[in-house]
Structure 1
Amino acid sequence: MYRQIKDLPFEQQAEKITRDLVRIRSVNGTHGEVDIAARLEAIIRSFPFFKNHPDLVWTQRLKGDKLGRKNVFALLESGVPTDKTVIYHGHTDTVGTSDFGGIESFALDPDYLQTFFKNYDKDADTKADAVSGDWLFGRGALDMKSGDAVHLSNLLYYSDHRGELSGNLLVMFNPVEENDHKGVIEAVEELIRLRRERHLTYLLAINGDFVSPLYKGDPHRYVYTGSAGKLLGCFYIRGREAHVGETFSGIDPTWIAGRINTALNNNMDAAEKIPGEVILPPSCLYQRDSKPFYNVQTAGAAYLYFNYFLYERSPEDVLRQLESAAQAACQDLEVFLKKQYTKFSGNCGLKADPPDWSTLVMTYEAFAEEARTTGVDVEEVTEKTVQIHPSEDFRRISYRIIEALEAAAKDYRPKVIVFFAPPYCPHNYLRAEIDAERRCDDLLDRMLVKTGKKTGELFAKKRFFPYLADSSYLAMNETEEETNEIIENFPGWGRMYSIPTDRIRRLNIPVVDMGVYGKKAHTWMERVYKPYSFGVLPRLIRGMTEGVLSGTSGT
């Protein structure tokens, strides 16, 4: 690759690398994630500096990964011994390509897609972008192979101009970002090892993940000084089955699930209140009942979970909101059924007392503790459940654990159990009260003003990257007490899923997202804007890198 890009103008180098990476189908959960790691390693090893220092390029295979996926690392050491280090990082996987429909076979062909969209009359904005020639199309072009290419082009630049760096540059590329972030989670241990063995001080981590306009006609280029966190807020709803001919004798868990969904799903009243930030409400990712086939019995249980972004609030706040929504739904059900039963009994002349429609609400922690008091070995039941279903989806296993504990405790009371399930992304942002983080923030302000005056870009800085990102696992603002609230209400934590919270706190690397700019990520119209992404952004990142490394050492 070095021979193909060494004589190109700088603005064309990142585009050339992007096209090379887009051609590799690296869909999450496929062998393509192995292929893209091999290609990235080969590109880096083609640079003259790394040909002369092959030991400074290496990979880390993910533990127990059946595909053999790897993290890729490269360390460009300063010409003068120093501990000061900046990290560039990006993810290598993409979402699938089925959304391309009839042209799926061309999903990795930017030239074909540009020609196609030049003649596409069903979306004027996409057509105009294709006609302009300023946009590069293709799966992964925006999210985020162009960001990886920018990091590689800057790595190449600095490997040829080491005198411009007053510190070290560590570049890492991670798989498995699009679902469970397994790549960067395992990279945490490698970063700690490097810090210990090579005596590195990590001053800043720069993610190149994409940014997009936030509304039609939005002129801003966004830069984010932190990452939103994520919890999966879950409900297990145990009802009381009934024949449809005796429907009022039961408690329908789907009714409760529907009420909870209405209360939380896309409801800004359930979102955090932080002026000026892109704050999103809970969104429903799963809603099912337990019936495997048709019959005339109402459902015995229902399953429901929501994506919850964390910005400033604690996990305990989320848990309390889940409980409150469940309690309100159960109370509404009781009032509703009493009213309907009155109408029903009056119509048919029944004079019997109405059934009991009360429904308990409890956290998983309280449910597990109650099961222990009846003699249930919660840990043993959990272990057996995980072993029986070794390859099942993490979320489904969480529900299976609760159902196994119910069976062991012989507890089939109508109830709603609120809990958390994978993945868990910590949240972080640059804090004014931390000197090293405040200096990074101040430097970024200066760099955005300087670059804006030079290029005419209209920059806007916000704290929370609005999409989920690997940056969440390089620092965390949650306290130990707050993460304990998650762990105690997380079925199977440490068996089927966990993250190294203590190690992440030990790393505590300030993070920013300085991403490529584009539109329609995760859709077949995905595209990256070349003039900014390949021209302005790489230089902006270099300015930030040099400013951080030439400043006072961080913590």
Structure 2
Amino acid sequence: MAAIMEAVDARSENGWGGAARIDAGHVESLALRMVAWPSVGGTPGEAEFAGRLQELLLEIPYFRENPDDLRIVDGYGDPKARNVAALVRGRGRRTIVLAGHYDTVAVDNYGSLRDLACEGFALRDALVAELSGRERTEQEEQALADLLGGDFLPGRGMLDMKSGLAVAVACLERFAADPDRHGNILFVATPDEERESRGMRAMRDALPSLAASLGIEIAGAINLDVTSDQGDGADGRAAYAGTIGKLLPFAMMVGCGSHASYPFEGISAQAMAAGVLARLEGNADLADRDHTDVSPPPICLEAKDLREGYEVTTPERFWLAFNWLYHAMTAEDLFRRFADEVRAGTTDAVTRFAAQSEAHSRRTGRKAGAVQPAPRVLTVGELRARAADIVGADFEALYADEERRHAQVDNPLVASRLLTDWLVGLARIVGPAAVVGFAGLHYPPSRLLDTDDDRSLREAIDGVRAELAAEPDRAVVWKPFFQGISDMSFLGQAAAGRDVVSANTPISRLVDHPPADALRFPVVNIGPWGREFHQRLERVHVPYAFGVLPEAVYRIARIVLDRP
């Protein structure tokens, strides 16, 4: 650590290798320029962004002189969007990656101001005028004060996360201007982070051959994604030693329909779903935890009766899909806990309904309805095996045809629900039963480990943190896990084999297939902070994003690269 601090002190005195400090106004202008290029996921703007970024990078003399160090890597999926990989070389093979995504969420929530959503200063003026002219919520009061105070700048993607991209570009420029640079900085800009990380997964898969062709060895990466802080930034100015994992487990209830006048002749799939929802929704006891952190509990994203028409009967099929974030347990542990809760919730519902049937029978003097058995719980893997037994040799072709029918369904929950419903019919499942599986891409958690490269990156960050600690409004804190879903789940992660997730995800495009030679290196997140990203009042904290952060990221990179 002492050696790290000596390096920090030496470079602080001399502008980090003799180069001028990064100009905050220049970083802001880069961010404004990129925000002005709309890049909503799945739109032509997203597809065009890589070419525009390539043109911007070619304005840097280094890339005009070394065009082979600027590469385009195709992403996965359709419509096609591309990754940009830009390398500035110094001496040696040691390399640090600066990474970020350029796609954004839609601009519809700006309402009448949607045409200004990508125009930072014009949007700020319009928001100030609009908020000033009416009654405001407490949240809007804070937004108005932020915008009038001058320290926050709005815009779609301004916070999430084109300010981070601007930081990376500025660091590349600074590095290229230093004739005494050691190592290399590789900037990676990817599409599709907001949906299925198809850009970063393609980049991860291409990275082994790309690194070999460039002659570099990656020692670590800094992801530049954003954090939200409703206070003074003390929580938002953070370095994250890992990222949280995400799974989307679902349960499809299969009940026994009955006429509404004779409810106890069956069991409603909706009642079974209510039993499951009561056990899972926001259940703090199910939140993943260890000595470092506590993840958010599972929360329901979708609850649907699968009937489309009106009938005076109880629903036979009902769908629940949950967001479950985790960091310490395994995917197998999470799926087992989910199945146990579904089994307990559906059993509780059937037991309660049977008791109501008996009570109703005593009041009317008529015979109670049939007692339903305890519900079965099947995994998607078991459901597929049952359907294959019934259909025979044609099953795989039939399944592939059905999946192709839903290939253009962009919503993973909808596509998963449709295919699972089809499988339930094909497998002739009768209720009461429940099918459990996964309805989305698995985002694995990551964390710093106890390896040389991991320790090197951590020590470099600690050195810069120590320098910033003297100024409370610039101080950066360590946090164990980035709480948002991000490309960190795939960047620098080692390959994983077929597991419980791939075996129980009905939609094949949602199953990740990392290559056996995927590179492993440490990744942290250090990005801008602001408020309300994805919302119409999305705004970045300007002094930190464009002043403090670029210098901090650059210094961390140089410490890592200067290590022998």
TM-score, normalised on structure 1?
0.91
Q: 1:327 to 1:102 in 2, by over 3 A?
A: same
| Distance in 1 (alpha carbons) for counterparts of 2:37 and 2:412 | 28
CA displacement 1:126-154 (0-9 Å, x = unmatched): 12211211111111110001111111111
Query: Is the aligned partner of 1:528 residue 2:545?
Result: no
Displacement of 1:18: 0.8
| Structure 1 residue 71: Cα displacement | 0.9
Contact 1:251/1:357, CA 8 A, preserved across alignment: no
1:313 alignment partner in structure 2: 329
SS at match of 1:287: strand
2:158 corresponds to? 141
- Secondary structure of residue in 2 paired with 1:256: helix
Question: In structure 1, the residue corresponding to 2:162 is in which secondary structure?
Answer: helix
Unaligned runs of 5+ in 2: 1-18
Q: Counterpart of 2:510 in 1: which secondary structure? A: coil
Shift in Å at residue 63 of structure 1?
4.5
After TM superposition, list the pairs within 5 Å mapping 1:319-358 onto structure 2.
319-352=335-368, 354-358=370-374
Whether 2:103 is the aligned partner of 1:93: answer yes
SS in structure 1 at match of 2:174: helix
| 1:400 and 2:404 aligned | no
Distance 1:101 1:64 in 2: 30
Deviations 1:218-239 (A, max 9, x none): 6231111111111111111111
Shift of the 234–202 alpha-carbon distance from structure 1 to 2, 3 Å rule, reads same
The amino acid of 1:414's aligned partner reads P
Structure-2 residue corresponding to 1:425: 443
Relative to 1, partners in 2 of residues 1:343 and 1:497: Cα closer, same or farther, differing over 3 Å? Answer: same
State which of 482, 489, 504 in structure 2 corresponds to 1:489: 504
SS of the counterpart of 1:60?
Answer: strand
Q: What code does the residue aligned with 1:500 have?
A: H
Question: What letter matches 1:110 in structure 2?
Answer: G
Deviations 1:472-491 (A, max 9, x none): 112347964xx512122222
CA shift for structure 1 position 258: 2.1
Alignment partner, residue 68 of structure 2: 55
Corresponding residue for residue 461 of structure 2: 444
Counterpart of 2:297 in 1: which secondary structure? coil
Name the counterpart of 1:229. Answer: 245
- Aligned mate of 1:282, from 281, 290, 298: 298
Partner of 1:167, secondary structure, is: strand
Residue in 2 aligned with 1:158? 175
Alignment CA distance shift 1:8-1:315 (3 Å): closer
Q: CA deviation at 1:274?
A: 2.9
Tell me, in whole angstroms, the C-alpha distance in 1 between the residues paired with 2:334 and 2:149: 46
- Once the two structures are TM-superposed, the CA of residue 438 in structure 1 deviates from its matched residue by 2.2
Of 128-137 and 401-410, more deviation after overlay is shown by 401-410
CA contact (8 A) 2:76 2:199 kept: no
Of 400-409 and 338-347, the range deviating more from structure 2: 400-409
CA distance in 2 between counterparts of 1:544 and 1:173 reads 19
Distance 1:52 1:430, change over 3 A: same
The reply to whether residue 20 of structure 1 matches residue 33 of structure 2 is: yes
Shift in CA distance, 353/134, structure 1 to aligned 2, threshold 3 Å: closer
Q: Determine the structure 1 residue equivalent to 2:55.
A: 42
Contact 1:267/1:281 (8 A) holds in 2: yes
Quick one: distance in 2 between partners of 1:148 and 1:352? 66
Counterpart amino acid of residue 128 in structure 1: A
For the residues of structure 2 that align with 1:550 and 1:304, how far apart are their CA atoms? 52
**Structure 1 residue 353: deviation in Å?**
5.7
**Matching of residue 383 in structure 1 with residue 400 in structure 2:** yes
Q: What SS does the corresponding residue of 1:531 show, helix, strand or coil?
A: helix
Give the drift of 1:542.
Answer: 0.8
Superposition TM-score, scaled by structure 2 size: 0.90
Instruction: Determine the structure 2 residue equivalent to 1:501.
Output: 514
Deviations 1:360-419 (A, max 9, x none): 112222333344454645533421211222212433333333333333333334211111
Q: Aligned partners of 1:424 and 1:117: how far apart in 2? A: 37
Native 8 Å contact 1:428 1:477 kept in 2 = no
What CA RMSD, in Å, does the superposition of the two structures yield over aligned residues?
Answer: 2.3
Matched positions, count: 536
- Indicate which of 108, 120, 134 corresponds to 2:118: 108
Q: Distance in 1 between matches of 2:48 and 2:404?
A: 31
Structure 1 residues 376, 248: CA separation in 2 closer, same or farther (over 3 Å shift)? farther
User: Are 2:299 and 2:323, in contact at CA under 8 Å, matched by a contact in 1?
Assistant: yes
SS of the residue corresponding to residue 182 of structure 2 reads coil
Match of 1:293 among 309, 322, 325: 309
Are 2:490 and 1:473 equivalent residues in the alignment? yes
Would the aligned equivalents of 1:226 and 1:512 in 2 still touch at CA under 8 Å? yes
Q: What is the match of residue 270 of structure 2?
A: 254
2:87–2:185: 8 Å Cα contact kept in structure 1? Answer: yes
Alignment partners' CA distance in 2, 1:297 and 1:490 = 31
Determine if the alignment matches structure 1 residue 269 to structure 2 residue 285.
yes
Amino acid corresponding to residue 97 of structure 2 in structure 1 = I
Segments of structure 1 that go 5 or more residues without pairing to the other structure are 1-5
Q: 1:156 & 1:100 partners in 2: Cα distance?
A: 34
- Picking from 290, 304, 312, the partner of 2:320 is 304
Question: Tell me, what secondary structure is at the counterpart of 1:303?
Answer: strand
**Identical counterparts, % of pairs:** 27
Cα–Cα, structure 1 residues 358 and 446, in superposed 2: closer, same or farther, change >3 Å? Answer: same
Give yes or no for contact 2:28–2:546 (8 Å, CA) kept in 1.
yes
Please give the secondary structure, in 2, of the residue aligned with 1:540: helix
Other-structure match for 2:3: none
Where 2:247 maps in the other structure, the secondary structure is: strand
The answer for the alignment partner of 2:234 in structure 1 is 219
Q: What is the rounded CA distance, in whole Å, between the counterparts of 1:372 and 1:234 in structure 2?
A: 21
Structure 2 match to 1:193: 209
Give the match for residue 7 of structure 2: none
1:445 shift after superposition? 1.7
Cα displacement string for residues 145-172 of structure 1 (whole angstroms, at most 9, x for unaligned residues): 1111111111111122242x31111111
